């Protein structure tokens, strides 16, 4: 924790989703983390307002997770996951199946949210095929959706910057409209009242393509990366009903909403709608070791278990699926969540969090505030002709003042570790208030 950590050479590292040239002129380097705080290379404490990147749900440097990883590295560093296994993979799958909504009791491991999405999309198409409905190959995403950065994920995703540079993407993909309705829903507390009918847009695509060609619909219960869009009341129920009516699988991408973010273990439970497949990552290991997973309904899994027993049923998997270090980290994480009641803590704090955020509604530039559980979005009017710049300037200002937030376009996103106390919420809101007042 020295205040003179030298800057390393910065030429070689091509940074992901980063303004590389700007960053390297004024680097922001984190060197340690504990609880709710990072320490930067100058020894300053930075309050973590976004759980790292929506993933460190139990806060940083948690003893049970650290010890689990250390012990695992010395005991079994790697075990091949194809035609072989290690005990913790099974233990973790059982523990997870006990947390998921009823019916989602099969667990397939990956190494990230992006890989979970590819896995779920492939499972959906293959499921229909093994049942003799091989014409169901179309995938339906949603405008303003984020499903990671691999080709399947950006194809069903709906963020233009993530798509436009990469050619024609997957064929046979279409999108329902997004759920954002600023005119009717601005400054809603929790779930907006208007917009259940946006789900009916799926009927439009079914009328165009015919249900017999559609494998699955994938949506985030709460759209995170695109600026914290909360599902209107009744919207997810309606989507579920339409999928059921037409034999289409419903996939919830819970990479952000999973592991306590909305006040229950999963968003599916908060919103009372159970998908057929569910993708997770991030909070699964508290961000400590990369890991993702897909939860599948029993019937989806069972549909594959038909041919001769010596044959592989699903031709898919990763070298690092169920990696021992990741399994150990996940078990330590689930223990920590359970010990401290973290998977429902957002439900206890959401009232105070919402009230505190909404108190910013009359500050300069604020045009909307959105919240659910311990996730919040504050949308700003853009600087004329310079979209995203005002929010980015506020991000830089907050960092100077010791607070890490995230911005997407002109929306500020907050998703603090679930160990947060009211005093930290006050610090976040006070820092933001100052930055909004100073902002051009
Ligand atoms: N699905 C969803 C819903 C996500 O939020 C992914 C898939 C991809 O996960 P990986 O582990 O491959 O990154 C995500 C990831 C942001 C931001 O700025 C959000 C994510 C990742 C990076 C930045 O909001 N979410
Ligand atoms: N590329 C090559 C040449 C490989 O041999 C492999 C895996 O064996 C992969 C890519 C995929 O790597 P992973 O299983 O880590 O996703």
What would the pLDDT profile of 288-335 be if each residue is shown by its tens digit?
Answer: 999 999 999 999 999 999 999 999 999 999 999 999 999 999 999 999
Asked whether the beta carbons of 308 and 335 are under 8 A apart, the reply is: no
Taking the C-alpha atoms of residue 55 and residue 287, their distance in angstroms, rounded to an integer, is 5
pLDDT at 395 over 60: yes
Pocket probe for ligand 1: among 50, 53, 414, the residue whose CB has the most ligand atoms within 8 Å is 53
With a 6 Å cutoff on the Cβ, whether 278 touches ligand 1 is: no
CA neighbor of 278 nearest in space, from 343, 212, 219, 318: 219
Residue nearest to atom 6 of ligand 2 (CA): 319
The pLDDT tens digits of the residues spanning 153-191 come to: 999 999 999 999 999 999 999 999 999 999 999 999 999
pLDDT at 2 over 90: no
Mean pLDDT of 43-68: 98
What confidence tier does 7 reach under pLDDT thresholds 50, 70, 90? confident
Q: What are phi and psi of 284, to 5 degrees?
A: -55, -40
With a 6 Å cutoff on the Cβ, whether 229 touches ligand 1 is: no
The pLDDT tens digits of the residues spanning 353-387 come to: 999 999 999 999 999 999 999 999 999 999 999 99
In this structure, the residues whose C-beta lies within 6 A of any atom of ligand 2 are: 318-320
Mean pLDDT of 259-278: 98
Ligand closest to CA 323: 2
| Tokens standing for residue 190 | 């929790």
**Among 2-6, 124-128, 408-412, whose mean pLDDT is lowest?**
2-6
Asked whether the beta carbons of 350 and 263 are under 8 A apart, the reply is: yes
What confidence tier does 114 reach under pLDDT thresholds 50, 70, 90? very high
Mean pLDDT of 402-416: 97
| Tokens standing for residue 74 | 């010395």
Cα of 340 to ligand 1 centre, how many Å? 26
What pLDDT score was predicted for residue 96?
98
The SS3 of residue 8 is coil
Mean pLDDT of 187-196: 98
Strands, DSSP E only, in 179-297?
214-219, 249-253, 277-280, 292-296
Cβ atoms within 10 Å of 168's Cβ, excluding its own: 6
Taking the C-alpha atoms of residue 321 and residue 110, their distance in angstroms, rounded to an integer, is 5
Strands, DSSP E only, in 86-137?
106-110
Mean pLDDT of 127-140: 98
Ligand closest to CA 111: 1
Cβ atoms within 10 Å of 392's Cβ, excluding its own: 16
Cα of 147 to ligand 1 centre, how many Å? 7
pLDDT at 4 over 80: no
What pLDDT score was predicted for residue 102?
92
With a 6 Å cutoff on the Cβ, whether 256 touches ligand 1 is: yes
What confidence tier does 8 reach under pLDDT thresholds 50, 70, 90? confident
Ligand closest to CA 118: 1
CA neighbor of 205 nearest in space, from 233, 162, 243: 243
pLDDT at 3 over 60: no
pLDDT at 1 over 50: no
């Amino acid at each position: 924790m020295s205040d003179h950590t030298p800057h390393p050479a910065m030429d070689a590292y091509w940074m992901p989703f980063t303004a590389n040239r700007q960053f390297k002129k004024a680097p922001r380097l984190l060197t340690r983390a504990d609880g709710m705080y990072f320490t930067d290379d100058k020894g300053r404490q930075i309050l973590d307002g976004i759980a790292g990147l929506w993933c460190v749900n139990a806060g940083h440097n948690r003893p049970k997770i650290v010890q689990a990883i250390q012990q695992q590295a010395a005991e079994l560093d790697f075990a091949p996951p194809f035609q072989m296994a290690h005990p913790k993979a099974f233990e973790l799958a059982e523990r997870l199946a006990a947390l998921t909504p009823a019916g989602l009791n099969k667990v397939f491991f990956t190494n990230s949210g992006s890989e979970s999405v590819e896995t779920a999309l492939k499972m959906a198409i293959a499921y229909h095929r093994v049942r003799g409905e091989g014409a169901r190959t179309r995938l339906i995403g949603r405008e303003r959706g984020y499903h990671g950065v691999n080709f399947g994920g950006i194809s069903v995703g709906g963020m233009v910057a993530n798509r436009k540079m990469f050619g024609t993407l997957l064929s046979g993909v279409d999108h329902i409209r997004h759920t954002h309705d600023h005119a009717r829903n601005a400054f809603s507390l929790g779930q907006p009242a208007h917009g259940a009918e946006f789900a009916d847009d799926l009927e439009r695509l079914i009328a165009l393509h015919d249900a017999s060609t559609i494998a699955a619909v994938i949506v985030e219960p709460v759209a995170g990366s695109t600026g914290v869009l909360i599902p209107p009341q009744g919207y997810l129920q309606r989507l579920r009903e339409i999928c059921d009516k037409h034999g289409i699988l419903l996939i919830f991408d819970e990479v952000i909403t999973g592991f306590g973010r909305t006040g229950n273990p999963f968003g599916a439970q908060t919103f009372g709608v159970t998908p057929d497949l569910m993708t997770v990552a991030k909070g699964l290991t508290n961000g400590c070791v990369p890991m993702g997973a897909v939860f599948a309904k029993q019937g989806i899994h069972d549909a594959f278990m038909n041919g001769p027993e010596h044959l592989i049923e699903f031709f898919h998997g990763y070298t690092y699926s169920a990696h021992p270090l990741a399994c150990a980290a996940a078990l330590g994480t689930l223990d920590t969540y359970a010990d401290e009641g973290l998977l429902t803590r957002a439900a206890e704090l959401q009232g105070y969090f919402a009230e505190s955020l909404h108190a910013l509604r009359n500050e300069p530039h604020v045009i909307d505030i959105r919240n659910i559980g311990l996730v919040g979005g504050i949308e700003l009017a853009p600087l004329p002709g310079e979209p995203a710049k005002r929010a980015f300037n506020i991000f830089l200002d907050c960092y100077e003042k010791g607070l890490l937030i995230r911005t997407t376009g002109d929306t500020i996103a907050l998703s603090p570790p679930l160990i947060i106390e009211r005093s930290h919420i006050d610090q976040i809101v006070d820092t933001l208030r100052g930055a909004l007042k100073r902002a051009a």
